[in-house]
Amino acid sequence: MANAKSEQSQFSCVLTESQCYRETLKLRSIAAVPGLFELALETELFSSSNPDEPRVKSRTCLTKSQLKELHLKLGRCLHDSEQV
């Protein structure tokens, strides 16, 4: 059993989905580099030859401070959209 320090935090959110397509945003901590997170955008095309295999559309790494800045800006965007 892995200890708590070596476990990864992982979250995912479906951004769009239809009968033939799904796009998911995934965020996971990188256990080997504390304070670094991988942000990936994956797609699944259900009519492909291997429909259960997600394809990585985009991938980048964020530091903890960049992730906090993204969180802040998403919050501002949501707040501003509620004011309209």
Instruction: Say what the pTM is.
Output: 0.78
- At 31, list the tokens: 């256990």
The pLDDT of residue 1 is above 70: no
Q: What is the pLDDT of residue 7?
A: 59
Give mean pLDDT, residues 9-13: 94
CATH number of this structure's domain 10-82: 3.10.450
Residue 37 CB neighbour total at 10 angstroms: 21
pLDDT in tens, 24-50: 999 999 999 999 999 999 999 999 998
Q: What is the pLDDT of residue 31?
A: 93
Asked whether 46 and 19 are in contact (CB, 8 A), the reply is yes
Q: What is the pLDDT of residue 2?
A: 44
3-state SS, the chain, equals: CCCCCCCCCEEEEEEEECCCEEEEEEEEECCCCCCEEEEEEEEEECCCCCCCCCEEEEEEEEEHHHHHHHHHHHHHHHHHHHCC
